[in-house]
Amino acid sequence: MKRIILSLVVTMLCLVPVMASAAGKVISVSQFVEHPALDAVLKGTQDYFRDNKLDVTFNVHNAQANMATTVQIAAQIMGEQPDLVIAIATPSAQACAQKIHGTPILATAVTDHVGAGLVKSMEHPGGNVSGTSDMLPVARQLDLIREFHPGIKTLGVIYNSGEANSVTLVKLLKAACDAAGIKLEEATVLNSAGIYQAAKSLVGRAEAIFLPTDNTVISALESVVKVCRQNKLPLYAADNDSVERGTIAALAFDYYKLGYQTGAMAKRILFDGADVSTMPVESLQELSLHVNLKAAEAMGVTVPESVLSRAEKVIK
């Protein structure tokens, strides 16, 4: 009888690590602000685990575009002791990276992981942070705008000068504009309250406006759309969700797919034993063109047939 009991005890002890490894994982999410593009990233990430029938619990936090709140969320996540952290957008990623050091972090919807101080290099992160980048080919964005406006000489841009990803994109945009002989007119904001006035400041200074993937600006996109409709000022974006909300066109990534790709990276860390420090930052290669005919008409723009013929989605 003693031998049977001892045998059962040994068997149970052997099963403990198996049961622990099979137990569900916990992912804490820090999202900078609620808007369609970032919401799509979160949904894509969650759907990856659902589609692959992996047992994962998500603790989701949203800073609602408040920089101080991102720091508070990072501290709260430390207390949750998750198996992995997903930080959506640059401000949230920076706050998590500064506070959390012993847990893998995947920073997604971040334009420049190196410039934001998150990794040593895109190929060899070297710390506890990797992720997925939404760095866009800005020159191709400008080519699209020039297809609508062949003789354009001035282009406006609105962005939060405190967002590292936006600063990077605007630098690239300025270089592309300089090469094309276009003057870039900048309007900067610190929060969403200043976006309407920033848009108005570009009336008469720019022939069209381009919005980068700036979380502050995109969260209050309707303010810019209103100004552009009132003044027949063409508005273009760097994400396709903004086309749904009233910009004329965008050549952009699918943020849902970006989230899904982030989920795949998380799976490799949580279930396959991958080391985040050796995982290169990934990016999507596929771009899709969306066009909003109603927005174009409201802003006095005729959509070229060359654009319509290759658009993946046309909103009528």
Nearest residue to 128 (alpha-carbon basis) of 100, 164, 92:
100
pLDDT tens, residue by residue, 220-251? 999 999 999 999 999 999 999 999 999 999 99
Q: How confident is the model at residue 164 (pLDDT cuts 50, 70, 90)?
A: confident
CATH code matching the domain that covers 2-134+255-283, chosen among 3.40.50.300, 3.50.50.60, 3.20.20.140, 3.40.50.2300: 3.40.50.2300
Q: What are phi and psi of 31, to 5 degrees?
A: -110, 130
Whether 138-252+288-315 and 2-134+255-283 are alike in CATH topology: the answer is yes
Q: What is the CATH architecture assignment of 138-252+288-315?
A: 3-Layer(aba) Sandwich (3.40)
Burial of 120 (0-12, 13-18, 19+ CB in 10 A): middle
pLDDT tens, residue by residue, 189-227? 999 999 999 999 999 999 999 999 998 999 999 999 999
Domain ranges across the chain? 2-134+255-283, 138-252+288-315
Q: Does the structure show a pLDDT above 90 at 17? A: no
Neighbours of 239 (CB within 10 A): 30
Helix, strand, coil abundance in the chain, percent, nearest 5: 45, 20, 30
Q: Among the residues of the chain, which ranges form H helices?
A: 2-22, 36-51, 67-80, 90-99, 138-148, 164-180, 195-201, 215-219, 221-230, 240-244, 255-272, 293-298, 305-308
> What pLDDT is stored for residue 7 in this prediction?
37
Q: Chain centroid to CA 120: how far?
A: 20
pTM above 0.85, yes or no: no
pLDDT tens, residue by residue, 23-78? 699 999 999 999 999 999 999 999 999 999 999 999 999 999 999 999 999 999 99
- To the nearest whole number, what is the mean pLDDT of the chain? 92
> What pLDDT is stored for residue 19 in this prediction?
31
* Distance between CA atoms of residues 210 and 202, nearest Å: 11
> What pLDDT is stored for residue 223 in this prediction?
98
